Structure 1
Amino acid sequence: MPLSDDILDLIEHETTEAQTLLRTLAAALPRSVEAHLLLATSHLRRLEFSQAMTVFQETLKLDPGNDKALRNIAFCLLSMGDREGALAAFHRAFAAASGASPLRYIALLSHRLGRVDEAIQAYERLLANGQSSSPEIPFAQQGLAAALRDAGRPIDADHQVRNLMERFRREPLTIASGLVARNNSEDFHEWSHYADKSRLAAALTARQAVDSAGRFPESFVLPRDRLALVAFAAGPSAPPLYIVKPVRSSGGQGIEVAADLADTLDRDDVVVQRYLDRPYLVEGCKGHCRIYGLITSADPLRAYVYSEGIVRIAPEPYAPTADRPGGVAMHITNTALHLDHPGLTISQDPTQDDVGSVRSLTALLRRMTADGLDGEAAFGEIKALMEWFVRLLAADGLFARQAAGSPPRAYPHKLFGLDVLIDSDGHPWLIEMQRTPAARGQPLVERINGEMYATLFRMAQAPLIDDSTSADLAQRLRADDATRRTCEAEIEMAQRGRFVPLDLQDPLAGPR
């Protein structure tokens, strides 16, 4: 019986437990390729790329031609920012097994390294030899169109765009959501830094010291901030509850709510935050909002916030007391943690956006207004919070480093998520950043995200020259990349749908 039957599910939902089990299993079965592959996969799930690569390398010693290990070593190098090393590793993977996936990565990395002609040749080879049903084809068409525009060949690029648009017309949700998911996993590697809760907490704290516009709970990374946490807990602003989060967990895994920090202070793998104990309640239950941000250009920086979102609500009424703080079903709003809870109700009707445990942001803001708060003002504050976060990334140099050394179209549009909690006064608080928000989900999620993904596709995929283009403009589009980039930005704005442009003027930089 394959070891992976149950363990892959454990890796997805109980990563820490799975990793402990797999270390023991790999030690007990030192010649098992499968045990090593699963252990490495658990490290990938926790964004521990260096550790994952070490285990994949150990797998190759057991099975030198293992395709999965070869490809994942290359992916780890890519995720760690070693583009040259990743390109060489994907060449090795392609030499061992001439698959479409390593060839597309060879094209992708060649483009990012500025070797545009090599990228075009690799993409064209894939499209010429690949099966039309291959899942790699849409990503190759997207990548080839971008490389051709960077090479100054807009007519050829438009041909690839039209081919991709035809696929989108036949399978809109599959093509659009697939592109978003893959683009997010292949983004500029520094995005993973902010998915690490300890790095995010440090970045938020440092930014607020110079730009106080952002609202997020006081956060302490253990063991580094132990003394500061002890002082905070003894001070006048000490909250009744704290939330304790494993540094590299996701989906609510391993989160605890505690009134007493005695058992937490000696830990070295968690972030401790002041618990926001006065949340806005929906029918007596706590919820959080998934807010979507979009980066369409690193230089010049262009970004948006989506005016719709997903609200997830805990299955038990929120009623903590000093002696009974309550369990995860009261405090933690990730629906994946509560699938067997009788209080979790999810409508199968995607048009119902204000019932059950999964709702829309629009419905939440409407309900807030009915409760005497100002839903419109709350969204204005959500937009301002997104602007503050994107300014943080810009100040940290993420966008400048992404743009340096790569052609302008080497990285596709980047979608990310902010998890936001609304307090009882109607103010949003930034809780976490989601580098790769889930593409699919419950019926309402499918409807909301499906509309958003279709918008994303139209913003990014459109021919620059058609029958309505004047001869003069067509000539300038063929000859001048600045004109092409201006046209791309105009298409993006015209097709933005519910994406709201962000004002990214940094208040620290003074007037324009």
Structure 2
Amino acid sequence: MSEPPGPDDPAFAATYQAMIEHDRERAVAELEALVAAKPACAPAWAMLMLAHHRRLDFVSGTAATEALLALDPTHHEGLQQLAFNLTACGNYERAVAAYRRAHAITRSPLSAYMVAVLLHRLGRLEEAAQAYGTILAASDPAGLEVLGILRGVMNLLRDQGQPLAADRFAHMLNLRYRQNPVLVSSFLVDRDQSSPFHEWLGLVDKATLGAVLARGMAAEPGAGRVPETFNLPAEQDALMRFAASEPDTLYIVKPARGSGGQGIHVTGDVTALAGLSDVVVQRYISNPWLIDGRKGHLRIYALITQAAPLRAYIYREGIVRIAPEPYDLSPDRLADVAMHVTNTALHLDHPGLMISQDETRDDEGAIRSLSALLRRMAAEGHDPDVVFGEIRSLVAWFLRQLEREGFFARQAALGSTRSFGPKLIGFDILLDADGHPWLIELQSNPAAKGAPLVNKINAEMFANIFRMSVGVLAEDSLSDTDLAALRSDPVALAAAELAHETRRSALFSSLSD
């Protein structure tokens, strides 16, 4: 392995950016060694900051960013990253100050917007109103940034008991939406995904998620299908005991904070895993449902529109991603990730990866629609309603476990529901050969763009979310009595919001039905 370039080498940044994308753990180890040897090297701290961000390690990322800013107090990316990390750690008070500092130097519209959002969450409504007013006055009325501001003001005014004033901003948003539904709705979804309740980001850590799932299975035995999962090194003894009781079992090994299929391998030799750290080991579902002889996984979407009481929906369309090589469990093929790992991004250079460029052809190539898969399963004798019903039950079970653990109560206690946008979650689910779903991973920020079929499915879903979350509540059909209640009664206002959301739910099906 060749020696990586030093921070004074012109190739330093490009080399480590590539390493962070393809071998994050190695990048972190090398960069930590470099900053230990050269603590005054700002470029090394900047790269380490980026590496921790890509690993979603916000605590370590905060420390690296603070070290960078101590060396370079006006580092634009560092200023933005520190504020984001503090938000991701739930330190909203410090995050407000950090975003204000970032905006003072970078003049970033996003920083100004986040100040207003966090003030709203902290219950400092008058300060939030002033912040929104300042950035609204300085914004381009035809620009994209104004969309988040308009929606923020709409929700803030409702929290301030001014629903009719809020409707004026809903009118503005609806006008922009009618001009370009895809652009407007996708922008707002992206804004919401970049600033969720911070505990969602923690669930991306596979070790943290694995612990939640284990508690869920203990609380409701048989209610959820999750492969046995072990976090190393803490649960190494438990893994060895399980392996002794289940001989000839295969295991899939994943970095705890990995993404995009990086660093994953399949093995039948658990003794080779001894000494590993910061990895998750799952029993491998070795009898997957095959699509044209290949393994695939489903991306299923859920939407949270209110934390307490919980309002949650499942989307009735989804995405199926298929491995580029035929499935084969021969011992000499276990190392072949192109057969076992179905993340499309990992196989972009594989000659067997065929992705249709025609969004209307949803049953060919490596990316297909959930509808197409269910049609195939129906043709093969499976009831698609039963299959989707089991998927729905699996998603509902997971959300019930979060509710049992106080997840949604903590969000509700932190700030008004209206200070959080609708939360879209991606569930990675594997069907076994009998058509039963298994929950494999959770995506807190599922990719919004991709192949033409992905773009089509997501565009329709984002538009659906917009129509549910942005609406004029004081409709012309309201009686004088109902209008007066809307203006004076918070319960009537909340009921009107729910009615609007329910009428426009379309492909989003309530998980409480």
1:74 and 1:245 mapped to 2: Cα distance? 29
**Residue 99 (structure 1) aligns with:** 108
Match of 1:61 among 70, 73, 78: 70
SS at match of 2:270: coil
Contact kept, 8 Å, 1:239 with 1:275, in 2: the verdict is: no
Query: Where does 1:218-237 land on structure 2 (aligned, <5 Å)?
Result: 218-235=228-245, 237=246
Query: Where does 1:41-440 land on structure 2 (aligned, <5 Å)?
Result: 41-132=50-141, 134-212=143-221, 213-235=223-245, 237-440=246-449
Query: Where does 1:436-475 land on structure 2 (aligned, <5 Å)?
Result: 436-475=445-484
TM-fit CA distance, 1:383: 0.4
TM-score of the superposed pair, with normalisation by structure 1: 0.94
SS at match of 1:101: helix
1:320 and 1:102 mapped to 2: Cα distance? 50
1:6 and 1:485 mapped to 2: Cα distance? 52
- After superposition, what is the alpha-carbon deviation per residue over 1:59-88, rounded to whole angstroms, capped at 9, x for unaligned? 112212223222221211111011111112
Alignment CA distance shift 1:121-1:395 (3 Å) = same
Mark the runs of 5 or more structure 1 residues left unpaired by the alignment.
505-512
- The one-letter code sitting in structure 2 at the alignment partner of 1:492 is E
- After superposition, what is the alpha-carbon deviation per residue over 1:230-257, rounded to whole angstroms, capped at 9, x for unaligned? 111111x345310001000011111110
**Residue 507 (structure 2) aligns with:** 498
Contact kept, 8 Å, 1:368 with 1:375, in 2: the verdict is: yes
- The one-letter code sitting in structure 1 at the alignment partner of 2:232 is L
Contact kept, 8 Å, 1:313 with 1:333, in 2: the verdict is: yes
SS at match of 1:409: helix
Q: Which moved more, 1:472-481 or 1:434-443?
A: 472-481
SS at match of 2:272: coil
TM-fit CA distance, 1:365: 1.1
- After superposition, what is the alpha-carbon deviation per residue over 1:289-330, rounded to whole angstroms, capped at 9, x for unaligned? 000011111111110111110000000000112454351001
SS at match of 1:75: helix
TM-fit CA distance, 1:27: 5.8
TM-score of the superposed pair, with normalisation by structure 2: 0.94
**Residue 479 (structure 1) aligns with:** 488
1:125 and 1:221 mapped to 2: Cα distance? 48
1:328 and 1:145 mapped to 2: Cα distance? 48
SS at match of 2:249: coil
Q: Which moved more, 1:136-145 or 1:395-404?
A: 136-145
1:324 and 1:407 mapped to 2: Cα distance? 52
- The one-letter code sitting in structure 2 at the alignment partner of 1:401 is R
Alignment CA distance shift 1:284-1:477 (3 Å) = same
Contact kept, 8 Å, 1:36 with 1:55, in 2: the verdict is: yes
TM-fit CA distance, 1:209: 1.0
Alignment CA distance shift 1:276-1:401 (3 Å) = same
Contact kept, 8 Å, 2:61 with 2:85, in 1: the verdict is: yes
- The one-letter code sitting in structure 2 at the alignment partner of 1:482 is V
Q: Which moved more, 1:100-109 or 1:347-356?
A: 100-109
Q: What is the percentage of aligned positions where both structures have the same residue? A: 47
1:17 and 1:175 mapped to 2: Cα distance? 39
Contact kept, 8 Å, 2:265 with 2:335, in 1: the verdict is: no
1:172 and 1:18 mapped to 2: Cα distance? 40
- After superposition, what is the alpha-carbon deviation per residue over 1:151-197, rounded to whole angstroms, capped at 9, x for unaligned? 01112211111212222222322221222122122111111221110
1:63 and 1:266 mapped to 2: Cα distance? 38
Match of 2:48 among 35, 39, 57: 39
- After superposition, what is the alpha-carbon deviation per residue over 1:126-145, rounded to whole angstroms, capped at 9, x for unaligned? 01012335543211111111
2:248 and 2:452 mapped to 1: Cα distance? 37
- After superposition, what is the alpha-carbon deviation per residue over 1:21-78, rounded to whole angstroms, capped at 9, x for unaligned? 4445556765553432222011011111111111111111221222322222121111
Contact kept, 8 Å, 2:250 with 2:283, in 1: the verdict is: yes
Alignment CA distance shift 1:116-1:206 (3 Å) = same
2:110 and 2:508 mapped to 1: Cα distance? 32
Contact kept, 8 Å, 1:239 with 1:274, in 2: the verdict is: no
SS at match of 1:263: helix
SS at match of 2:303: strand
Contact kept, 8 Å, 1:11 with 1:18, in 2: the verdict is: yes
RMSD, matched Cα: 1.8
- The one-letter code sitting in structure 2 at the alignment partner of 1:227 is D
- The one-letter code sitting in structure 2 at the alignment partner of 1:217 is P
Alignment: residue pair count: 503
TM-fit CA distance, 1:277: 0.3
Q: Which moved more, 1:350-359 or 1:75-84?
A: 75-84
TM-fit CA distance, 1:91: 2.4
Contact kept, 8 Å, 2:144 with 2:184, in 1: the verdict is: no
**Residue 3 (structure 2) aligns with:** none
1:63 and 1:27 mapped to 2: Cα distance? 18
